[in-house]
Amino acid sequence: MFQAATKRPVRTTPKTAFLRTALLFGGLVLVGADRAQADQQLKATDHKKLAKNVAEYFEAVADKDGISDALADLNKNVEKIEKKAKGVPFLSMVEDIEQVFYLSKEYSSSIRKGRVSTETEPFFKGGDVEFAYHAPKTYKDSKGPYPVLFCVPDQGVSPEEDLNTNWQDADLRGGTIIFSIGMPADAEVQNTVEGGVGRLMTVVRFARKNFALDANRYFVAGRGSGVATAMHTADIFPSVFAGVIGRAGDMQPLSTGNFLNQPTYFAGGGAHCTAFEAEAKEKGWENVTLDPEGTEADAAAWMSTTARNANPKQVAIQPNSLFCSSSAWLSISGFEAGQGAKIEAKIEDNTITIDGEGIGQVTLFANDLLLDMDKPVTVICNGVKHEKTLPRSMTTTLDLAVSINDWGRVYTATHYYEMPTMAVEGE
């Protein structure tokens, strides 16, 4: 199940694992039955006031000036809100914080709507990424957030042609922002971060910056040869997407290791898609859909009922790439990519059990949808037990918002643990 990489392994550290993803993609889009469904507790006017404070804080951080004053202004308004909430801590209101972070952003005012438009964006390996997008005729950031679909075309198909030929469903176009991303001429690197995967994630960064997107409704789709690229992208970045769509093409052999919380829909898939479903079922997962006769409309219907669970009670990571270093609330470091390392973690009540092989360290990110933050949290790392209270912190919440750059993943506390050594499978 765990395939060794053929390239010389590079060992990660906590700093390099985090910075590698943050620098490349600007800080890096299944509703589980266990997802907490706390309602927003604040009024829209409160959200707007706090969003203004948060925006000023983020601006101060970017300018490296006035940070203390901006934080003080934010904390003043938080104190007022907590008084009205009869002492309920603002930092326990995770869904309210999500809304505040969403409203704190300014989006582009030059979005072209109701037609396919082409753009370019600089690529970290040099040159530009060419892509096309279609925004609904009625798109306004004030009407958001909107779901978004990132498409990888078949070999030889341009992004513009892909959108005009393969993604024309009226309902999909009417409510979803759709991108198609140009792939590298060299097919050998299409499924790598240095090639097609990196190009796709470059457009994810562009979309996140300019469009009012629903952080829990990012989908990635491939057609023909693009199915493999879509799957490899979701495999490397398991925290970003709500799900993966494959149309009229097969994936390459790939383990389900990073797809515990990423559902997949294959319309007209091949033998590798079938094998992928079989492996998922062996694990007791029912999140792979095979639809041999599936159409674009069927894929759109599947999207309409699917959303990312940003706070799942279980996560798993199988780092086949140096960039595959986090899933939801768990980040890993001290691993050799593609060398059989793996980790699983689950939350039961206020206990987090983490079992891993070939992983040196883990960092946990916590919030009140995952844990009772007013009580001590027990963390068991490869059998070694730790217990401590994880205090909520405004600066931690804000700093993580900057580094993660995903308003759907709000964390108010974090803690780092060493993983006791366990042999990698096969040693």
Strands 361-366 and 330-333: antiparallel
- Tell me, what's the pLDDT at 422? 60
- 257 and 117 fall within a common domain: yes
> To which residue do tokens 């389900």 refer?
256
Count of all residues that appear for the chain in the document: 427
DSSP state of 252: P
Mean pLDDT of the chain: 90
- 152 and 201 fall within a common domain: yes
- In a 13 Å sphere around the CA of 370, the CA atoms on its Cβ side amount to 29
For residues 371 and 388, the answer to whether their CB atoms sit within 8 Å is: no
Please determine, for residue 313, whether its predicted confidence score (pLDDT) is greater than 50: yes
Domain that holds residue 234: 107-304
Domain membership flag for residue 292: yes
Least confident of 7-21, 74-88, 173-187, 217-231: 7-21
- 300 and 347 fall within a common domain: no
Please determine, for residue 198, whether its predicted confidence score (pLDDT) is greater than 80: yes
- Confidence class of residue 2 from pLDDT cuts 50, 70 and 90? very low
- 368 and 295 fall within a common domain: no
- In a 13 Å sphere around the CA of 55, the CA atoms on its Cβ side amount to 14
- Tell me, what's the pLDDT at 164? 97
Give per-residue pLDDT as tens, 135-192: 999 999 999 999 999 999 999 999 999 999 999 999 999 999 999 999 998 888 999 9
- 134 and 282 fall within a common domain: yes
Distance CA 139, CA 136 (A): 5
Give per-residue pLDDT as tens, 270-287: 999 999 999 999 999 999
- In a 13 Å sphere around the CA of 422, the CA atoms on its Cβ side amount to 19
**Is-cis flag, bond preceding 420, omega within 30?**
no
Distance CA 390, CA 375 (A): 8
- 362 and 334 fall within a common domain: yes
Domain membership flag for residue 226: yes
Q: Read off the pLDDT of each residue in 110-134 and give the average, rounded to a whole number.
A: 96
- Tell me, what's the pLDDT at 105? 94
- 279 and 228 fall within a common domain: yes
Q: Read off the pLDDT of each residue in 361-389 and give the average, rounded to a whole number.
A: 97
For residues 137 and 112, the answer to whether their CB atoms sit within 8 Å is: no
Distance CA 283, CA 335 (A): 24
Please determine, for residue 28, whether its predicted confidence score (pLDDT) is greater than 90: no
Domain membership flag for residue 357: yes
For residues 42 and 81, the answer to whether their CB atoms sit within 8 Å is: yes
Residue in 238, 426, 201 with CA at minimum distance from that of residue 332: 238
Please determine, for residue 15, whether its predicted confidence score (pLDDT) is greater than 70: no
Distance CA 229, CA 196 (A): 7
- 254 and 326 fall within a common domain: no
Query: How many domains does the chain fold into?
Result: 3
For residues 202 and 196, the answer to whether their CB atoms sit within 8 Å is: no
Please determine, for residue 38, whether its predicted confidence score (pLDDT) is greater than 90: no
